Structure 1
Amino acid sequence: MIFLFISGPEIMVILLIVVMVFGADKIPEIARGLGKGIRQVKDATNDIKREIKDSSEKIGIDTDIRKNVTKEIDAVKDNIDDLTGPIKRQF
């Protein structure tokens, strides 16, 4: 298992050092704190996304990039089909 260019034995050494420094009884507390911190960052990110979406909808800006990209890709496909239509390969 490779995670961020760190292999399994290296992760085990890091975990061993964490246990030695903080003690086994503090690790669940640290994990809970990290979990809460990650949750707060995720909630803040979602709030920012929602604010941007709401503001853009009020102003009238289209934020659905996926729809625009799909539309352009379909247009290119249609152009290619029109161009290669009479030149279809036969097997």
Structure 2
Amino acid sequence: IIFGLTAALHGQVRFADGEAEQLNFDSYPLLRLDEAPEIDVHIMASDASPGGVGEPGVPPLAPALVNAIFAATGERLRDLPLYRY
């Protein structure tokens, strides 16, 4: 969830002279704990083979976030990252 929020809010790699400016996480903005919402995770029991439990929440996070912003403000945001708004 934190990774998905970071991607939606800050996810951008800029290039200068053909090279990425963000070469590692020290130059890539990450969501800080004091910026993060309270998260309540529920893992459902399953007979399926073990697999990743964190990945399924990443793809729908940006659409959910912009829809929540639309519901609260009436403004549609259609470009990521959202920090530009």
- Normalised by the shorter chain, which TM-score bucket? under 0.3
Larger Rg: 1
TM-score by length of 2: 0.26
Task: Please identify which structure carries the higher strand content.
Answer: 2
Higher relative contact order (CA 8 A, sep 6+): 2
TM-score by length of 1: 0.25
Task: Please identify which structure carries the higher helix content.
Answer: 1
